[in-house]
Structure 1
Amino acid sequence: MLVKRFEEAQPYEAPNHRDVVGLRLQGFEEGGPKNQWIGLSQFLPGGGAGPDSTPFEKVYVVLEGEMTVMSGGKETVLKKYDSCTVAPDEVRTIENRSNHVCTMLVVIPYPPEAN
């Protein structure tokens, strides 16, 4: 078992993201998960990401606040404890349209070259 304390989480830069602080909670370390890594993203009001896509799926779980997710001409607002799966190659945009910080857990498989 690998325990990582929140104080040990390292920040990371996510491409095409704005007004966000990302912390890597688990992943890319010896003894850590083998299939995916876990990030905690804290989006300021007006912060977001995209439009873009990845060749692998990802899961978003909103822990605090709300996040608007736009994909395929539709948009939905995720609120506390709501989640969504973004399919491989699905183009999505996310935006915090509220006046509160949105804290979101992100689960992403390792890129093929990292395995």
Structure 2
Amino acid sequence: MFIKRFEEAKPYDAPNHHGCFGLRLQGFEEGGPKNQWVGLSQFLPGGGAGPDSTPFEKVYVVLEGEMTMIADGKESVLRPLDSCTVWPGEVREIVNRSNHVCKMLVVIPYPQGANQ
């Protein structure tokens, strides 16, 4: 078992994100997970990411607030404890259209060749 306290989480900058503060909760550390890492993304009102895609799938879980997910011309609003899988190569955009901060867990596999 590997425990990491919230106070130990380090900030990270996610590419093509704006109005977002990310903390790495698990991953890229000695003794941590071997297959994926987990981030906490905190989006200010108007914050978001994309449109873009990645060569791997990722999972989003909204903890607080709401997030509008846009893919294939369709929009869906995720609210607390709603989740979404974004497929490899799928172009998505996310936007916090509310006046509240959106807190979201992000689960992403390590990039190929990354040193876990």
Give the TM bin, normalised by the shorter chain: over 0.9
Structure 2 distance, partners of 1:110, 1:80, is 26
Give deviations 1:55-99, integer Å, cap 9, x for gaps. 000000000000000001101000000000000000000000000
Structure 1 counterpart SS, 2:63:
strand
TM-score by length of 1: 0.99
Task: Measure how far apart 1:48 and its partner are.
Answer: 0.1
Q: Quick check: 1:109 aligned with 2:109?
A: yes
**Which consecutive residues of structure 1, in runs of 5 or more, have no partner in the other structure?**
none
Give deviations 1:19-38, integer Å, cap 9, x for gaps. 00000000001110000000
Give deviations 1:39-67, integer Å, cap 9, x for gaps. 00000000000000000000000000000
The equivalent of 1:25 in structure 2 is 25
What stretches of structure 1 move > 6 A for 4+ residues in a row? none
TM-score by length of 2: 0.98
**Which consecutive residues of structure 2, in runs of 5 or more, have no partner in the other structure?**
none
Give aligned pairs, total: 115
Structure 2 counterpart SS, 1:59:
strand
Q: Quick check: 1:34 aligned with 2:38?
A: no
Structure 2 distance, partners of 1:94, 1:57, is 15
Structure 2 distance, partners of 1:62, 1:56, is 20
Please tell me the residue identity of whatever aligns with 1:69: M
Structure 1 counterpart SS, 2:113:
helix
Structure 1 distance, partners of 2:41, 2:65, is 12
